[in-house]
Amino acid sequence: MDSIVKKQFKVAGGKLLKASFSVDEGKLKDVKITGDFFLYPEEAIEGLILSLNDIEFEESIIEKAVSVYLKDNNAEFVGASPNDVAKLFTQEVEDSK
């Protein structure tokens, strides 16, 4: 299994998303998401994280998975979008902290 990667992404409007994860055989593993965004209801973050584990490590697939999870669970991001979450994982720059 690959080592844990840490990334951060500043979205338009200034909110900061952070993630730690690994990629094993092209799939996301060990996903954690933090930052200064809001997700309502708050407990939806746990389900979102679970929904991202074991999906293909590809921006469009991650974005769709986030969108579907939000819709199916009547959840909503404030200060971030499904596309922002996908970019958080797939951007090239790693968090140095």
Q: How confident is the model at residue 94 (pLDDT cuts 50, 70, 90)?
A: low
Length of the chain: 97
What is the distance between the alpha carbons of residues 22 and 57, in angstroms, rounded to a whole number? 10
CATH of 5-90 among 1.50.40.10, 3.50.50.60, 3.30.390.50, 3.40.190.10: 3.30.390.50
pLDDT tens-digit series, residues 42-76 = 999 999 999 999 999 999 999 999 999 999 999 99
Residue 95 has what pLDDT? 52
pLDDT tens-digit series, residues 15-37 = 899 999 999 999 999 999 999 98
Instruction: Report how far Cα 47 is from the mean position of its chain's Cα atoms.
Output: 12
Residue 21 has what pLDDT? 97
pTM for this entry? 0.89
Residue spans of alpha helices (H) in the chain: 44-52, 59-72, 82-90
Do 66 and 48 contact (CB within 8 A), yes or no? yes
Residue 2 has what pLDDT? 67
Residue 92 has what pLDDT? 74
